[in-house]
Amino acid sequence: MIETLKQNEELWNLFTKKEEYNLYFSDQYDRFPYYLSGQRNVFDPNVSRFLVEKGLCPEYPDGRKFAVCLTHDIDVVYPEKLYPIIGTAKAFARGNFRDAIKAPFSRINKRCNPCWNFREIMELEAKYNAKSSFYFMALRPGEQDFNYEIEDLEAELKYISSHGWEVGLHGGHESYKNFGDILEKKQRLERVLGKQIIGYRNHFLRFRVPDTWELLSKANFKYDTTFGYADCAGFRNGMCHPFRPYNINTGKQIDILELPLIVMDRTLLRSYMRLNVKQAWELIKSLVDKVEQCNGVITVLWHNNTNIEGESLKYYEKFLKYVSGKNAWIASGEEIYNWWSTNVEPKYWEVCP
């Protein structure tokens, strides 16, 4: 498939993201945003569609036509200091007296903490025969956006992992360009979890093509799922299938599997696209349908502290119902990696030694 793709220069340049090499401009977080890209059809998985037309036809467990990769970035475990006051006021304004009673105790009692909802998420996903990936940060006090000590979550991490969900690393602000930082955080999380981790996503979706892939491969991660635009949903390099990145500087594939991020909750609803709930839902459905047409994998990021109109998981469940109704295989990043690298790559892709 790689050799076939190379024959189409326009699609090859999009697939490799040639425009992101030797950048002169980036946003405030050193990211390459969609608004600077020459790619204007970000909602079209045109590279994947081309590969499907050339014979790519991945199969999924139980004969499912396409897959959904569920992921959660755990930026926050403890709500902000003013939440007991602000959360109480907002809950009363919505007429939600249950949350209003819990909010004052949110920072001292896990049962009242709206961010300590890992098991609630797992129970919801289990209703749809699904599992997901939780990417935890391993920051130290003083690092930007520090919110929790990973050691304090040991019991919760082991509960998640022992029940078949995945624990991966959510790298810090500087990890995407610092091998030592990536490795230190990976080893710290592995010590707490008591097992090796294979999955990664960087905080704020900070990423450099192709450097971050190379660093993650060197740190022995098996897959990454950072690669998506923060400011726009869609297909950053035209792909809705997992792929091995190709470094055009070295002329070699990088030994890591990318599960491209297609939809992030905050991209749709907060400071980026600023869609209303109805518009966001229509876009999500459209992207799911296009991935289904290509027998692809749609990776979705839903934060544990996302709250829409006073509801933390209502809209997430709406998504689960939709993809479950389409008979999608709904899985974690680890499950997608294991299936793809074992059952799909040997048939269609060059695999790094």
pLDDT in tens, 164-181: 999 999 999 999 999 999
Q: Long-range contacts made by residues 343-350, C-beta under 8 angstroms, separation at least 24?
A: 343/58, 343/59, 344/58, 344/59, 344/242, 345/244, 348/1, 348/55, 348/56, 348/58, 349/1, 349/2, 349/243, 349/244, 350/1, 350/2, 350/244, 350/253
Three-class secondary structure of residue 214 per DSSP: helix
Q: Does residue 153 sit in the same domain as residue 266?
A: yes
Return the number of other C-beta atoms located less than 10 Å from residue 146's C-beta: 12
Q: Quote the pLDDT of residue 106.
A: 42
Task: Judge whether 353 lies within some domain.
Answer: no
Residue 94 has pLDDT above 70, yes or no: no
Same domain, 100 and 242: no
- Residue where a domain stops, chosen among 114, 140, 173: 114
| pLDDT attached to residue 350 | 57
Higher pLDDT pick, 101 / 66: 66
What residues contact residue 325 under an 8 Å CB cut-off, 6+ apart?
A: none
CA 35 – CA 348 distance, rounded (Å): 33
Whether residue 249 sits in one domain with residue 332: yes
Q: Could you report the per-residue pLDDT of 315-335, keeping only the tens digit for each?
A: 999 999 999 999 999 999 999
Co-location of 228 and 109 in the same domain = no
Query: Could you tell me the maximum CA-CA distance found in the chain, to the nearest angstrom?
Result: 63
Asked if residue 227 and residue 92 are part of one domain, the reply reads: no
- If asked whether residues 166 and 199 sit together in one domain, one would say yes
Mark whether 84 and 132 lie in a shared domain: no
Domain closes at, from 70, 92, 114 = 114
How far apart are the C-alpha atoms of 67 and 288, rounded to whole Å?
A: 10
Residues in contact with 263: Cβ distance below 8 Å, sequence separation at least 6, in sequence order: 233, 284, 287, 298, 299, 300, 301
Instruction: State how beta strands 133-136 and 67-74 pair.
Output: parallel
Whether 8 and 103 share a structural domain = no
Q: How many CB atoms lie within 10 A of CB 155?
A: 8
Is the Cα dihedral 78, 80, 85, 89 positive or negative? Answer: negative
pLDDT of residue 351: 47
pLDDT of residue 80: 61
265-274 per-position pLDDT tens digit: 999 987 799 9
What's the chain's length in residues? 353
**pLDDT (tens digit, 9 = 90+) per residue, 331-350?**
999 999 999 999 999 888 75
Please count the structural domains in the chain: 2
pLDDT on residue 2: 79
Q: Are residues 155 and 37 in the same domain?
A: yes
How high does pLDDT run on average in the chain? 90
Say yes or no: 98 and 155 in one domain. no
Predicted confidence (pLDDT) per residue in 125-168, tens digit: 999 999 999 999 999 999 999 999 999 999 999 999 999 999 99
Looking at per-residue pLDDT, the higher value among 179 and 116 belongs to 179
- The pair of structure tokens assigned to 281 is 């839902």
Provide the domain limits for residue 102: 80-114
